[in-house]
Structure 1
Amino acid sequence: MSCRYFGISQQAHYIWYRPYQTEGIEGLRTRSKAPQHSPNATHVEVVEQIIYLRQNYHFGPEKIAMYLKRYHNLTINKSGVRRILNRLDMGRLPALQAARPPMEAVRDAAARPPGTDRREVHRAARLHALWLLRRPRQVLPVHSDQR
């Protein structure tokens, strides 16, 4: 039978024929095109450290990359850390862990009397500044003995 009869090129024929000759029917099965090994893949130990830092310290990709370089002498790019976190569905922190106020803000909030909001304080300061700009200036009388 010829390739012309089946409507395929000779190249397509040999793409199928060579695996059939070497492996039989198994050679004709569809195979995965994924690589068999990845020599440049991130080591499992590094991925475990990234997971540990994300779960326990809630570090972002940039801080994780900096931490690994400084304390473990491991060089990994922040985009690589982000890719690993996204692949493990750890790309975003839960809402409660995303933004923690600094301790100074917490202390300031505790020191404020109840009922005073920071926005109210800023608004009062702005109003006071406007009042100072708009008030008429007082001209102090000059005493004759000060001349």
Structure 2
Amino acid sequence: MLAKLPFAVEQVQTDKGQEFGSAFHWRLLDKGIGHVHIKPRTPRLNGKVERSHRIDSEEFYRLLEGQVIDEVRLFNTKLQEWEDYYSHHRPHAALTGQTPYERLRQKAQNPLS
């Protein structure tokens, strides 16, 4: 995934969830990427991530309501479709109507904008 980004990742900020344990931490360090943790019980310090979780709940999981998805492959297909829509087609008010992909391309072309 890192190779697909049009910029270098210097540091990753996470909470202290199990998924961000020592294996994740050392993998980042092996790649020359810093890893910092937010203070416990301060989700506001990771506000964009928390907002993303809320959108996932309100929009992605709502799309799946009433469906029985008993295969990981099918869930992953639905998730991939959602990520494509969210990143490439869904306008975001916080990005003045741009999609995340449009904003990323803009920042890659002019990092100081």
Q: TM-score, normalised by structure 2?
A: 0.20
Q: TM-score, normalised by structure 1?
A: 0.16
Higher relative contact order (Cα pairs below 8 Å, separated by 6+ residues): 2
More helix by share: 1
Mark the structure with the bigger radius of gyration: 1
